[in-house]
């Protein structure tokens, strides 16, 4: 099996890693959220099992992580948050993410998508249910997507292709898994490229995980409180 894996092209490995590392935990946590909203619609108690599952996911994934070369992007939740360059990176990258997504919906006059529709559905529930669950959703996206795309897929493609080719492969896969309207594919690819660039510069997933979580949670709150419609 190991020999078969080694013979596969890096882009195909990236696609398979996307399926194995991303979909199971995303599906489980979204199911927890749906069950919470169905059976406990007043309180976001689902946040607790979501955090437990993410903790177990992190333990398993970091133990299994084969990317330990000094040039690899390391799996980490930590980064020097008080470092001036890191503060600028977090603010810049999260702002770029939020503004790019918002302007793309406005410019292309898109009033709905599977992703947007799911987030908008939380407006039917009170804050004590919706906000904890949206927090869990944002944390899940930040950790699982960045572990998958930057921690595993990007390390895989970086070893075989030029950096820009690697970034483009990851960006296309990143856009595809969000089930977007065609008009949003390019903006999401650009967002992914920005995250890939920062992860390569940092040689760590810490900053991009935090920024991804922050950008998603800000967007979720803006949508939930009807600031963005």
Both tokens assigned to 140: 């899940």
Highest mean pLDDT (candidates 2-6, 15-19, 161-165): 161-165
Q: How many CB atoms lie within 10 A of CB 72?
A: 18
Phi, psi dihedral angles at 70 (to 5 degrees): -65, -25
What's the mean pLDDT in 187-194? 97
For 71-119, the pLDDT digits (tens) are: 999 999 999 999 999 999 999 999 999 999 999 999 998 887 888 889 9
Residue 229: the pLDDT is 62
Indicate whether 63 pLDDT > 90: yes
Say whether pTM exceeds 0.75: yes
Asked if residue 76 lies in contact with residue 204, where contact means CB atoms within 8 angstroms, the answer is yes
Quick one: pLDDT band at residue 3, thresholds 50, 70, 90?
confident
Q: How many CB atoms lie within 10 A of CB 174?
A: 24
Asked if residue 131 lies in contact with residue 44, where contact means CB atoms within 8 angstroms, the answer is yes
Short-list 31, 109, 103, 21, CA closest to 62: 21
Residue 227: the pLDDT is 86
What's the mean pLDDT in 197-210? 97
Quick one: pLDDT band at residue 177, thresholds 50, 70, 90?
confident
The H helix count followed by the E strand count for the chain is 12, 0
Q: What percent of the chain shows pLDDT beyond 90?
A: 83
What's the mean pLDDT in 18-30? 93
Quick one: pLDDT band at residue 4, thresholds 50, 70, 90?
confident
Q: How many CB atoms lie within 10 A of CB 98?
A: 18
Asked if residue 70 lies in contact with residue 197, where contact means CB atoms within 8 angstroms, the answer is no
Calpha distance 212→125 (Å, rounded):
25
Calpha distance 220→227 (Å, rounded):
10
Residue 48: the pLDDT is 98
State whether residue 181 is helix, strand or coil: coil
Q: What is the DSSP letter of 124?
A: G
What's the mean pLDDT in 5-9? 85
Calpha distance 200→36 (Å, rounded):
38
Both tokens assigned to 59: 């333990």
Calpha distance 64→14 (Å, rounded):
16
For 116-168, the pLDDT digits (tens) are: 889 999 999 999 999 999 999 999 999 999 999 999 999 999 999 999 999 99
Average pLDDT score, the chain: 94
Least confident of 14-18, 109-113, 203-207: 109-113
Residue 163: the pLDDT is 95
Short-list 33, 23, 31, 21, CA closest to 178: 23
Quick one: pLDDT band at residue 1, thresholds 50, 70, 90?
low
Handedness of CA 40, 41, 42, 46 (dihedral sign): positive
Q: How many CB atoms lie within 10 A of CB 42?
A: 10
Contacts of 203 (CB under 8 A, 6+ apart): 71, 72, 73, 74
Both tokens assigned to 193: 């490229």
């Amino acid at each position: 099996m190991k020999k078969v894996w080694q013979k596969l092209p890096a882009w195909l490995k990236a696609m398979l890693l996307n399926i194995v590392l991303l979909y199971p935990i995303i599906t489980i946590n979204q199911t927890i959220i749906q069950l919470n909203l169905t059976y406990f619609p007043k309180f976001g108690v689902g946040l607790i099992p979501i955090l437990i599952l993410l903790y177990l996911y992190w333990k398993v994934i970091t133990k299994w992580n084969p990317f330990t070369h000094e040039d690899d992007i390391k799996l980490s939740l930590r980064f020097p948050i008080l470092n001036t360059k890191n503060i600028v990176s977090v603010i810049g990258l999260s702002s770029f993410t939020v503004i790019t997504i918002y302007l793309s919906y406005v410019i292309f006059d898109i009033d709905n998508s599977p992703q947007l529709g799911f987030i908008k559905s939380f407006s039917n529930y009170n804050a004590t249910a919706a906000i904890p669950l949206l927090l869990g959703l944002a944390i899940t996206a930040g950790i699982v997507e960045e572990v998958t795309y930057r921690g595993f897929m990007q390390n895989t493609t970086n070893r075989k292709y030029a950096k820009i080719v690697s970034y483009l492969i990851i960006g296309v896969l990143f856009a595809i898994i969000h089930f977007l309207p065609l008009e949003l594919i390019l903006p999401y690819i650009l967002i992914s490229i920005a995250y890939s660039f920062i992860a390569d510069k940092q040689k760590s997933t810490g900053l991009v995980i935090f920024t991804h979580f922050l950008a998603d949670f800000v967007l979720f709150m803006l949508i939930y409180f009807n600031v963005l419609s």
